[in-house]
Amino acid sequence: MDNLSGKTAVITGGASGIGRAFADRFAAAGMNIVIGDIEGPALEAALAELEATGASATGVVCDVSSEADMHALRWHAIDTHGAVHLVCLNAGVGGGNGRTETLTERDWAWTINVNVWGIIHGLTTFVGDLKAQDDGHVVITASVAGLTSYPSMGPYNMTKHAAVAMAETLFAELRDDGSNVGVSCLCPGLVLTNIFQSDRNRPEQLTNPALEQIPRSAEDEARLGAMIEIVASQAKQPSHVAELVHDAVVARQFWINTDEDFTPAIHARLDSIRDRTDPPAGENLLSIYD
């Protein structure tokens, strides 16, 4: 997609974080922006900010775990602009954190519903249209955690590995079909977003009261504070990620990595697969900065 001006981009999770930066960047490229986001007030604010810059921006409240909501997002985009050309399946949550044996079915269900079913619903809703017009691009937001695996992040790791697999599968299918539709798989490392506050959108029926009642020691609080400081000092700006994604869409580039900090960990995992050795294990996602 080397000519974006006048075309339409649909962005899930587009009211904040990386998705919000997508909206800014693709609006700057002359695209019509359609945002689907579960947070109504944030959506309204994002649309107002975009419109204030002269951008063509609209959106609907959308829970990506709902197939009906995703269909409504599609119809809104088509009714407004006639067609969709770029689909950014970006909505995601941090998921239940903790050792695997402490997590409940609710922790897994919440993370899978958003991070996996959200992408599945996006693909089944939009890819047929893109193939029919033989023009367009799909961006799937995965994570560096989809290329590596860290302790106490089981649901997030698993769902982001699934996101990578879905992106690779879609790419292979479109290539086999001789389609001109492109695919990119975004695997960001640390980015300054509010993903660590994902629980704000967690459905009541999928909460895990047991985890919430686990007391935090002074050591736990200190560790959390140190992690926040690392994120603040090392994380990339969403605008940096959006620029990389824009360039990848134009160049029809599949893999998008936001920085090189996690490259050694990715290579170590691939080496362990090739050599059939134990997988490398970091203390946590931020241990590379120790």
What pLDDT digit, counting tens, does each position of 240-286 carry? 999 999 999 999 999 999 988 889 889 999 999 999 999 987 655 65
**Sequence-separated (6 or more) residues with CB below 8 Å from residue 87:** 9, 10, 122, 126, 127, 130, 136, 137, 138, 139
Confidence at 202, pLDDT banded by 50, 70, 90: very low
| Each residue's pLDDT tens digit, 184-193 | 999 998 888 6
Which residues are known catalytic residues? Answer: 156
pLDDT of the residue at 168: 99
Give the residue-averaged pLDDT of 81-94: 96
H or E element, residue 10: strand 8-12
User: Residue 290: pLDDT above 70?
Assistant: no
Give the residue-averaged pLDDT of 179-205: 74
pLDDT of the residue at 150: 84
User: Residue 220: pLDDT above 70?
Assistant: no
Burial of 141 (0-12, 13-18, 19+ CB in 10 A): buried
pLDDT of the residue at 61: 98
Compute the mean pLDDT over every residue in the chain, rounded to the nearest whole number. Answer: 88
Amino acid code (one letter) for 161: H
Give the residue-averaged pLDDT of 47-76: 98
Question: Which 3 state secondary structure label does DSSP give 15?
Answer: coil
User: Residue 19: pLDDT above 70?
Assistant: yes
Fold of 8-289: Rossmann fold (3.40.50)
pLDDT of the residue at 235: 78
186 contacts 141 by C-beta, under 8 angstroms:
yes
Where residue 220 falls (left for φ over 0; alpha for ψ -120 to 50; beta otherwise) is: alpha
* Residues 102, 215, 282: CA angle, nearest 5 degrees: 55
- Residue ranges of domains in the chain: 8-289
Least confident range from 2-11, 40-49, 65-74, 100-109: namely 100-109
| Each residue's pLDDT tens digit, 129-166 | 999 999 999 999 999 999 998 888 899 999 999 999 99
